[in-house]
Chains A and B, each alone.
Chain A
């Protein structure tokens, strides 16, 4: 897993004069599935477009499978891409769409068709082979786009939100399918999404992107357990992590670490305990029940909000006065000004 499949080395990119990627360093190992996670407009698609050669870099180098491809045209980089907009050829049938990349590379017609069918079967759209994109639903189109990317075996797969338009069940299924496919092919994949669950489930590693900068790269576990910044901490996890000033109304239980003056503490809703009987007093504002779980929105004395996740059966009543308790072991500490992680 050490050999690099795709490397972005200090890459900056701009649309006209507006810089949207700022010296991004990213190394995807061969055979790795890296998920680029970030909010809308963070530059996720731009990362893929730069890797594919569709946008020029303004600084830095791009390497694919050990080759410096910075100045190569897209066709020579040997990548496959699923566009966020699908980019299907409206005048070609599904089969022709999938086989396009093979046919322009002079693969014999019959072979190309056979492989197209196989790829379609992988993503479950084999029944659509004779339709045209205009006759497909959004989800069906997305699967065709995915099949088109999977029909070849390039050095890197670049998948721009390939599952965004599928219903939940299908997304979960496709997610597993994609992971299995990746493991089977041993392919290098860069998968873009703004869905943190998808990222956590799917990724070997996750790169969190924000405003054109990498916030953190790490395994899903690292991202979850040791978010490097407040941004990562709050972006991953739903509802988002609670953040409070370190010296504020709520003091976690246990041995406090050494804290600087300007610090923030963060803890996930599931770390909140409403049953301890001690802790900071708070009032229940509202409650969202999601099946077995209930999200309890509370206001501390002094007005700071806190969210707790409790089993639905043990949820307090609305307007009830409760006590909010957390433990230091479940607490993350961040520098209040930089937002960087301090401890543990």
Chain B
């Protein structure tokens, strides 16, 4: 086993005198392979994003041609109480739901990564909600959360009297109390962490086995193993997933808020930015205004990305190359 590194295979077409070494060549191939993706990215994501960016500075109602508005939309946003509520709701949701989702996914991944009987079934069950079409999933929750007839509150009322819980308190008013409704949306979002779960499952399985055997020989407790080994080893993946989830959280509130709570209870308890944008853009035909709100959303996303990127980089030092 030679420790010395071999020079990369030299392609037959590249003459020794040619400045384009194998490096440039492989780079060209890479570019070629990336081209379709880049074209799609530009055409389907970047251009619309740029158009949205431009429309944010116009008055545009989808019907008449856009008219230049300067920063009107943004000043209006600042003064718009609904937008402020939507913004707050969105941030609060992300701050609460994202860690919960990642933690839940992590917990499940750690519980179910072994090949034990039933683990396969349990993994499938954990993935299932993610596979259900979003709308159907929303409708399911509408039934689950029904304050009087829904199974959740039926269960909570077991042992209680007169429609109270066993502790003598009224069960959560999922669809009519603002706080409970926000909690409901978070609850709804928790069970769609299937993708995160799968990635963590794979990440956990990729961790070296001997390291855990070493810990077993040293009689490390489960908590020690989690704290000193599993968590730090998975931290980079966790950070990336949290990042991805934070970005996605701007969107995955949409269907549940749209279908389950309709943005309510009044006035705007579960109106998130995504719903706000949809309503102002498509229901009230204030497309320019909605574009401005979208822009704010994008900036917010970018901020979240930057913050978490720094966190990821801090963990990078564990794996110097």
- Chain A residues within 8 Å of B, Cβ to Cβ: 52-54, 73-77, 79-81, 83, 85-92, 100-101, 104-105, 132, 134-135
Contact = CB atoms under 8 A, between A and B. Distances in A.
A105 B218 contact: yes
Given A87-B208, A90-B319, A100 B218 contact: yes
Interface stretch (B26-34, B132-140, B220-228, B266-274): B220-228
A53 B216 CA distance: 9
Contact of A75 (B211, B218, B232, B320): B218
B320 A134 contact: yes
A132 B318 contact: yes
27 contacts: A53-B216, A53-B217, A54-B216, A73-B219, A74-B219, A75-B216, A75-B217, A75-B218, A75-B219, A80-B217, A81-B217, A83-B210, A83-B213, A83-B214, A87-B208, A87-B213, A90-B233, A90-B318, A91-B229, A91-B319, A92-B228, A100-B228, A104-B215, A104-B218, A104-B220, A104-B224, A134-B321
Contacts of A87: 208, 210-211, 213-214
Contact of B213 (A74, A76, A92): A74
A134 B316 CA distance: 12
Interface in B164-223: 208, 210-211, 213-221
Contacts of A81: 214, 217
A86 B211 CA distance: 9
A85 B212 CA distance: 13
Contacts of B233: 90-91
Contacts, number: 73
Most buried by B among A77, A88, A89, A135: A89
* Central interface residue in B217, B218, B224, B318, by most chain A CB within 10 Å: B217
Given A75-B217, A75-B218, A104 B210 contact: no
Nearest to B218: A101
A73 B217 CA distance: 8
Given A104-B219, A105-B218, A91 B224 contact: no
Interface size class, chain B: 20 to 34
Given A52-B217, A75-B218, A132 B210 contact: no
Contacts of A52: 213, 217
Contacts of A91: 229, 232-233, 318-319
B165 to A, nearest CB: 42
A105 B219 CA distance: 8
Given A91-B233, A91-B318, A135-B320, A74 B217 contact: yes
Which 8 pairs across A and B sit closest by C-beta, in order of nearness? A75-B219, A87-B210, A101-B218, A104-B220, A87-B214, A91-B232, A74-B216, A91-B318
Contacts of A104: 215, 218-221, 224, 228
Contacts of A73: 216, 219
Contacts of B224: 104
Interface in B297-316: none
A54 B217 contact: yes
Given A54-B213, A85-B210, A91-B232, A132 B320 contact: yes
Contact of A79 (B208, B210, B215, B217): B217
Contacts of B217: 52-54, 74-75, 77, 79-81, 101
Nearest to B232: A91
A90 B315 CA distance: 12
Contacts of A53: 216-217
B121 to A, nearest CB: 22
Nearest to B212: A87
Given A73-B216, A80-B217, 20 more contacts: A54-B217, A74-B219, A75-B217, A75-B219, A75-B220, A81-B217, A83-B213, A83-B214, A85-B208, A86-B210, A87-B208, A87-B213, A87-B214, A90-B233, A90-B319, A101-B217, A104-B218, A104-B224, A134-B320, A134-B321
Contacts of B221: 104
A36 B213 CA distance: 21
Given A89-B229, A91-B318, A135-B320, A76 B219 contact: yes
Contacts of A100: 214-215, 218, 220, 228
Nearest to B227: A104
Nearest to A88: B211
A216 B192 CA distance: 60
